[in-house]
Chain A
Amino acid sequence: MVNAHTFYAIAVMAIITALLRFLPFLIFKGKASTPPLVEKLGRLLPSAVIAMLVVYCMKDIDFTASASYLPALLASVLVGVLHTWKRNILLSVITGTVAYMLLVQFVF
Protein backbone atom coordinates (compact mmCIF):
# COMPACT_ATOMS: atom_id res chain seq x y z
CA MET A 1 0.00 0.00 0.00
CA VAL A 2 2.87 2.37 0.81
CA ASN A 3 5.08 3.28 -2.14
CA ALA A 4 7.10 6.23 -3.44
CA HIS A 5 3.91 8.02 -4.46
CA THR A 6 2.68 7.92 -0.84
CA PHE A 7 5.78 9.77 0.33
CA TYR A 8 5.73 12.31 -2.49
CA ALA A 9 2.06 13.01 -1.84
CA ILE A 10 2.61 13.44 1.93
CA ALA A 11 5.56 15.77 1.20
CA VAL A 12 3.42 17.86 -1.18
CA MET A 13 0.59 18.10 1.36
CA ALA A 14 2.97 18.97 4.23
CA ILE A 15 4.81 21.63 2.19
CA ILE A 16 1.67 23.32 0.86
CA THR A 17 0.03 23.32 4.30
CA ALA A 18 3.14 24.91 5.86
CA LEU A 19 3.43 27.39 2.98
CA LEU A 20 -0.17 28.54 3.50
CA ARG A 21 0.55 29.10 7.18
CA PHE A 22 3.84 30.96 6.57
CA LEU A 23 2.84 33.08 3.58
CA PRO A 24 1.02 35.92 5.39
CA PHE A 25 3.97 36.33 7.75
CA LEU A 26 6.43 36.43 4.86
CA ILE A 27 4.34 38.89 2.82
CA PHE A 28 3.28 41.31 5.55
CA LYS A 29 6.39 41.05 7.73
CA GLY A 30 7.62 44.62 7.72
CA LYS A 31 4.38 46.34 6.78
CA ALA A 32 2.54 48.51 9.28
CA SER A 33 -0.92 47.60 8.03
CA THR A 34 -2.47 44.89 5.84
CA PRO A 35 -4.22 45.95 2.60
CA PRO A 36 -8.01 46.45 3.11
CA LEU A 37 -8.90 43.81 0.49
CA VAL A 38 -6.77 41.14 2.22
CA GLU A 39 -8.20 42.13 5.57
CA LYS A 40 -11.74 41.91 4.17
CA LEU A 41 -11.06 38.44 2.72
CA GLY A 42 -9.61 37.39 6.06
CA ARG A 43 -12.97 38.18 7.64
CA LEU A 44 -15.28 36.81 4.95
CA LEU A 45 -13.43 33.78 3.59
CA PRO A 46 -13.43 31.40 6.60
CA SER A 47 -17.23 30.97 6.71
CA ALA A 48 -17.46 30.72 2.90
CA VAL A 49 -14.76 28.01 2.86
CA ILE A 50 -16.42 25.99 5.63
CA ALA A 51 -19.71 26.10 3.68
CA MET A 52 -17.74 24.99 0.60
CA LEU A 53 -16.23 22.08 2.56
CA VAL A 54 -19.65 20.96 3.81
CA VAL A 55 -20.75 20.69 0.16
CA TYR A 56 -17.41 19.02 -0.72
CA CYS A 57 -18.19 16.26 1.82
CA MET A 58 -21.51 15.59 0.06
CA LYS A 59 -19.92 15.11 -3.38
CA ASP A 60 -20.09 11.30 -3.37
CA ILE A 61 -23.77 11.17 -2.44
CA ASP A 62 -26.09 9.90 -5.16
CA PHE A 63 -29.22 12.03 -4.82
CA THR A 64 -31.26 9.65 -6.97
CA ALA A 65 -30.72 6.67 -4.62
CA SER A 66 -32.40 6.88 -1.21
CA ALA A 67 -29.93 4.37 0.29
CA SER A 68 -27.18 6.88 -0.56
CA TYR A 69 -28.67 10.20 0.49
CA LEU A 70 -30.97 9.22 3.38
CA PRO A 71 -28.23 8.13 5.84
CA ALA A 72 -26.24 11.31 5.10
CA LEU A 73 -29.33 13.49 5.34
CA LEU A 74 -30.53 11.94 8.62
CA ALA A 75 -27.09 12.03 10.24
CA SER A 76 -26.51 15.63 9.07
CA VAL A 77 -29.83 16.75 10.54
CA LEU A 78 -28.95 14.96 13.78
CA VAL A 79 -25.58 16.77 13.93
CA GLY A 80 -27.28 20.11 13.17
CA VAL A 81 -30.01 19.73 15.80
CA LEU A 82 -27.66 18.32 18.45
CA HIS A 83 -25.10 21.04 17.87
CA THR A 84 -27.61 23.89 17.91
CA TRP A 85 -28.97 22.47 21.15
CA LYS A 86 -25.84 21.45 23.11
CA ARG A 87 -23.07 23.34 21.25
CA ASN A 88 -20.54 20.63 22.06
CA ILE A 89 -18.42 19.85 18.98
CA LEU A 90 -17.16 16.51 20.27
CA LEU A 91 -20.63 15.28 21.26
CA SER A 92 -22.14 16.34 17.92
CA VAL A 93 -19.34 14.79 15.83
CA ILE A 94 -19.22 11.47 17.66
CA THR A 95 -23.01 11.02 17.86
CA GLY A 96 -23.44 11.96 14.17
CA THR A 97 -20.68 9.61 13.00
CA VAL A 98 -21.91 6.66 15.07
CA ALA A 99 -25.46 7.26 13.81
CA TYR A 100 -24.23 7.38 10.20
CA MET A 101 -22.18 4.20 10.62
CA LEU A 102 -25.16 2.36 12.12
CA LEU A 103 -27.40 3.60 9.31
CA VAL A 104 -25.13 2.53 6.44
CA GLN A 105 -24.16 -0.77 8.06
CA PHE A 106 -27.48 -1.99 9.42
CA VAL A 107 -30.41 0.01 8.06
CA PHE A 108 -29.76 0.86 4.41
Chain B
Amino acid sequence: MAYTLRPMNSPARQAFIDTIPVLTGYLALGFGFGIMLQAAGFPVWLAPVMSITMYAGAMQYVAVGLLSSGASLLTVGLTTFLVNARHLFYGISLLDKFKSTGKRTPYLIFALTDETYSLLCRDNPAIPAEKKKTYYFCICLFDHCYWISGCTLGAVTGSLVSFNSQGIDFVLTALFITIFIEQWQSSRNHSPAITGAAVTGASLALFGKENFMIPAMLVILLTLCLHKGKEDSHG
Protein backbone atom coordinates (compact mmCIF):
# COMPACT_ATOMS: atom_id res chain seq x y z
CA MET B 1 0.00 0.00 0.00
CA ALA B 2 1.33 3.37 -0.95
CA TYR B 3 -0.74 5.38 1.47
CA THR B 4 -2.04 4.52 4.89
CA LEU B 5 -4.15 6.79 7.05
CA ARG B 6 -2.23 6.01 10.19
CA PRO B 7 1.07 4.26 10.78
CA MET B 8 0.50 0.54 11.06
CA ASN B 9 2.15 -1.19 13.97
CA SER B 10 4.11 -4.34 13.19
CA PRO B 11 2.56 -7.50 14.71
CA ALA B 12 5.45 -7.76 17.18
CA ARG B 13 5.12 -4.13 18.25
CA GLN B 14 1.36 -4.46 18.64
CA ALA B 15 1.84 -7.71 20.62
CA PHE B 16 4.18 -5.87 22.98
CA ILE B 17 1.65 -3.06 23.52
CA ASP B 18 -1.18 -5.54 24.14
CA THR B 19 0.88 -7.61 26.60
CA ILE B 20 1.93 -4.67 28.83
CA PRO B 21 -0.70 -5.53 31.50
CA VAL B 22 0.68 -9.08 31.55
CA LEU B 23 4.24 -7.70 31.76
CA THR B 24 3.51 -5.95 35.06
CA GLY B 25 1.42 -8.84 36.37
CA TYR B 26 3.93 -11.57 35.51
CA LEU B 27 6.92 -9.61 36.81
CA ALA B 28 5.15 -9.14 40.16
CA LEU B 29 3.65 -12.63 40.48
CA GLY B 30 6.83 -14.27 39.18
CA PHE B 31 8.82 -12.21 41.67
CA GLY B 32 6.63 -13.55 44.48
CA PHE B 33 7.23 -17.11 43.28
CA GLY B 34 11.00 -16.57 43.18
CA ILE B 35 11.00 -15.19 46.73
CA MET B 36 8.89 -18.13 47.94
CA LEU B 37 11.17 -20.67 46.24
CA GLN B 38 14.20 -19.06 47.88
CA ALA B 39 12.50 -18.93 51.27
CA ALA B 40 11.85 -22.69 50.99
CA GLY B 41 15.60 -23.23 50.58
CA PHE B 42 15.88 -24.01 46.85
CA PRO B 43 18.70 -22.71 44.63
CA VAL B 44 18.22 -19.70 42.34
CA TRP B 45 18.55 -21.67 39.09
CA LEU B 46 15.47 -23.71 39.89
CA ALA B 47 13.34 -20.59 39.22
CA PRO B 48 14.21 -20.31 35.50
CA VAL B 49 14.12 -24.13 35.13
CA MET B 50 10.58 -24.30 36.52
CA SER B 51 9.29 -21.20 34.74
CA ILE B 52 10.64 -22.40 31.37
CA THR B 53 9.45 -26.02 31.59
CA MET B 54 6.26 -25.80 33.68
CA TYR B 55 5.20 -22.25 32.89
CA ALA B 56 2.12 -22.31 35.09
CA GLY B 57 1.56 -19.49 37.57
CA ALA B 58 -0.63 -20.93 40.28
CA MET B 59 0.81 -24.44 39.90
CA GLN B 60 4.37 -23.20 40.47
CA TYR B 61 3.31 -21.70 43.80
CA VAL B 62 1.65 -24.99 44.73
CA ALA B 63 4.79 -26.79 43.52
CA VAL B 64 7.00 -25.08 46.12
CA GLY B 65 4.95 -26.74 48.85
CA LEU B 66 4.96 -30.11 47.08
CA LEU B 67 8.73 -30.04 46.46
CA SER B 68 9.69 -29.00 49.97
CA SER B 69 7.39 -31.55 51.61
CA GLY B 70 8.74 -34.29 49.33
CA ALA B 71 5.23 -35.30 48.20
CA SER B 72 4.92 -38.58 46.28
CA LEU B 73 4.97 -38.38 42.48
CA LEU B 74 1.37 -39.63 42.41
CA THR B 75 0.27 -36.74 44.65
CA VAL B 76 2.33 -34.33 42.53
CA GLY B 77 0.70 -35.62 39.33
CA LEU B 78 -2.87 -35.57 40.66
CA THR B 79 -2.45 -32.11 42.15
CA THR B 80 -1.11 -30.81 38.85
CA PHE B 81 -4.05 -32.36 37.05
CA LEU B 82 -6.58 -30.76 39.41
CA VAL B 83 -5.00 -27.32 39.58
CA ASN B 84 -4.50 -27.13 35.81
CA ALA B 85 -7.55 -29.06 34.59
CA ARG B 86 -9.13 -25.78 33.48
CA HIS B 87 -6.53 -25.67 30.68
CA LEU B 88 -8.29 -28.64 29.08
CA PHE B 89 -11.10 -26.28 28.22
CA TYR B 90 -9.06 -23.33 26.99
CA GLY B 91 -8.02 -25.22 23.89
CA ILE B 92 -11.60 -25.89 22.88
CA SER B 93 -12.35 -22.22 22.26
CA LEU B 94 -9.10 -21.72 20.34
CA LEU B 95 -9.37 -24.68 17.96
CA ASP B 96 -10.40 -22.47 15.03
CA LYS B 97 -7.85 -19.72 15.69
CA PHE B 98 -4.98 -22.20 15.78
CA LYS B 99 -5.91 -23.89 12.48
CA SER B 100 -3.81 -21.46 10.46
CA THR B 101 -0.83 -20.93 12.74
CA GLY B 102 1.41 -23.54 11.06
CA LYS B 103 4.58 -24.92 12.62
CA ARG B 104 4.48 -22.51 15.56
CA THR B 105 1.24 -24.06 16.84
CA PRO B 106 2.88 -26.49 19.33
CA TYR B 107 4.60 -23.59 21.10
CA LEU B 108 1.38 -21.54 21.13
CA ILE B 109 -0.40 -24.46 22.83
CA PHE B 110 2.47 -25.09 25.27
CA ALA B 111 2.44 -21.43 26.33
CA LEU B 112 -1.33 -21.22 26.88
CA THR B 113 -1.53 -19.75 30.39
CA ASP B 114 -4.65 -18.04 31.79
CA GLU B 115 -3.41 -14.58 30.83
CA THR B 116 -2.16 -15.57 27.37
CA TYR B 117 -5.44 -17.35 26.75
CA SER B 118 -7.45 -14.23 27.58
CA LEU B 119 -5.29 -12.10 25.25
CA LEU B 120 -5.64 -14.60 22.40
CA CYS B 121 -9.41 -14.78 22.91
CA ARG B 122 -9.71 -11.01 22.87
CA ASP B 123 -7.46 -10.83 19.78
CA ASN B 124 -6.73 -7.52 18.06
CA PRO B 125 -8.92 -6.53 15.09
CA ALA B 126 -6.24 -4.11 13.86
CA ILE B 127 -3.95 -7.03 12.92
CA PRO B 128 -4.53 -8.21 9.32
CA ALA B 129 -5.31 -11.92 8.86
CA GLU B 130 -1.96 -12.77 7.23
CA LYS B 131 -0.05 -11.33 10.20
CA LYS B 132 -2.14 -13.02 12.89
CA LYS B 133 0.21 -15.96 13.39
CA THR B 134 3.18 -13.68 14.06
CA TYR B 135 1.01 -11.64 16.44
CA TYR B 136 -0.15 -14.76 18.36
CA PHE B 137 3.41 -16.13 18.50
CA CYS B 138 4.80 -12.84 19.84
CA ILE B 139 2.11 -12.67 22.56
CA CYS B 140 2.98 -16.20 23.72
CA LEU B 141 6.74 -15.64 23.58
CA PHE B 142 6.66 -12.22 25.29
CA ASP B 143 4.41 -13.45 28.12
CA HIS B 144 6.70 -16.46 28.65
CA CYS B 145 9.76 -14.15 28.79
CA TYR B 146 8.06 -11.84 31.32
CA TRP B 147 7.28 -14.84 33.53
CA ILE B 148 10.83 -16.27 33.35
CA SER B 149 12.27 -12.80 34.12
CA GLY B 150 9.93 -12.23 37.08
CA CYS B 151 10.60 -15.66 38.63
CA THR B 152 14.37 -15.37 38.20
CA LEU B 153 14.52 -11.79 39.51
CA GLY B 154 12.53 -12.86 42.56
CA ALA B 155 14.85 -15.78 43.29
CA VAL B 156 17.99 -13.64 42.81
CA THR B 157 16.58 -10.92 45.08
CA GLY B 158 15.57 -13.51 47.67
CA SER B 159 19.12 -14.88 47.70
CA LEU B 160 20.71 -11.42 48.13
CA VAL B 161 18.31 -9.75 50.53
CA SER B 162 17.21 -11.64 53.58
CA PHE B 163 13.87 -10.74 55.11
CA ASN B 164 11.03 -12.43 56.89
CA SER B 165 8.86 -13.90 54.16
CA GLN B 166 6.38 -15.60 56.46
CA GLY B 167 2.91 -15.28 54.94
CA ILE B 168 4.08 -14.68 51.34
CA ASP B 169 2.10 -17.77 50.25
CA PHE B 170 -1.05 -15.67 50.67
CA VAL B 171 -0.23 -14.27 47.22
CA LEU B 172 -1.85 -17.40 45.74
CA THR B 173 -5.03 -17.01 47.83
CA ALA B 174 -5.26 -13.33 46.88
CA LEU B 175 -4.79 -14.17 43.20
CA PHE B 176 -7.57 -16.77 43.22
CA ILE B 177 -9.93 -14.42 45.09
CA THR B 178 -9.45 -11.70 42.46
CA ILE B 179 -10.00 -14.18 39.59
CA PHE B 180 -13.08 -15.45 41.42
CA ILE B 181 -14.49 -11.91 41.65
CA GLU B 182 -13.69 -11.23 37.97
CA GLN B 183 -15.56 -14.37 36.91
CA TRP B 184 -18.45 -13.71 39.29
CA GLN B 185 -18.96 -10.22 37.87
CA SER B 186 -18.69 -11.28 34.23
CA SER B 187 -21.27 -14.07 34.45
CA ARG B 188 -24.96 -14.12 35.14
CA ASN B 189 -25.05 -17.78 36.11
CA HIS B 190 -23.40 -18.14 39.52
CA SER B 191 -24.32 -21.77 40.14
CA PRO B 192 -20.97 -23.22 38.90
CA ALA B 193 -19.04 -20.94 41.29
CA ILE B 194 -21.35 -21.78 44.19
CA THR B 195 -21.13 -25.50 43.34
CA GLY B 196 -17.32 -25.32 43.27
CA ALA B 197 -17.05 -23.58 46.64
CA ALA B 198 -19.77 -25.59 48.40
CA VAL B 199 -18.63 -29.01 47.18
CA THR B 200 -14.97 -28.34 47.99
CA GLY B 201 -15.85 -26.94 51.42
CA ALA B 202 -18.04 -29.93 52.25
CA SER B 203 -15.37 -32.33 50.98
CA LEU B 204 -12.71 -30.62 53.12
CA ALA B 205 -14.92 -30.92 56.22
CA LEU B 206 -15.73 -34.56 55.41
CA PHE B 207 -12.41 -36.02 54.19
CA GLY B 208 -9.83 -33.69 55.75
CA LYS B 209 -7.08 -31.69 54.07
CA GLU B 210 -5.04 -34.66 52.82
CA ASN B 211 -7.80 -36.32 50.80
CA PHE B 212 -10.47 -33.78 49.88
CA MET B 213 -9.42 -32.65 46.39
CA ILE B 214 -10.19 -35.79 44.37
CA PRO B 215 -13.74 -36.35 45.73
CA ALA B 216 -14.40 -32.61 45.33
CA MET B 217 -13.26 -32.62 41.70
CA LEU B 218 -15.35 -35.69 40.84
CA VAL B 219 -18.53 -34.31 42.43
CA ILE B 220 -18.00 -30.91 40.73
CA LEU B 221 -17.58 -32.59 37.34
CA LEU B 222 -20.67 -34.74 37.85
CA THR B 223 -22.79 -31.81 39.07
CA LEU B 224 -21.78 -29.65 36.11
CA CYS B 225 -22.50 -32.48 33.63
CA LEU B 226 -26.03 -32.69 35.03
CA HIS B 227 -26.35 -28.91 35.13
CA LYS B 228 -29.35 -27.53 33.30
CA GLY B 229 -31.06 -24.15 33.33
CA LYS B 230 -29.41 -20.93 32.22
CA GLU B 231 -26.48 -21.93 30.09
CA ASP B 232 -24.80 -18.56 29.74
CA SER B 233 -21.78 -18.71 31.98
CA HIS B 234 -20.09 -15.70 30.46
CA GLY B 235 -22.44 -12.86 29.66
Contacts and interface: CB of A to CB of B under 8 A. Distances in A.
Nearest to B25: A90
A90 B28 contact: yes
Q: Is the interface of B mostly helix, strand, loop or mixed?
A: helix
Contact of B66 (A9, A97, A101): A9
Interface residues of B, number: 94
A12 B75 CA distance: 10
Contact of A17 (B55, B182, B194, B220): B55
Contacts of A23: 88, 91
Contacts of A14: 53-54
Contact of B195 (A9, A24, A48, A54): A48
Contacts of A65: none
Contact of B175 (A1, A43, A93): A93
A75 B173 CA distance: 10
Interface residues of A, number: 67
Given A47-B193, A50-B176, A55-B201, A20 B84 contact: yes
Interface in A1-43: 1-2, 5-6, 8-14, 16-18, 20-25, 28, 34, 37-43
Interface string B162-193: 00111110111111111111111101010011
Interface string B101-122: 0000110011010000000000
A58 interface: yes
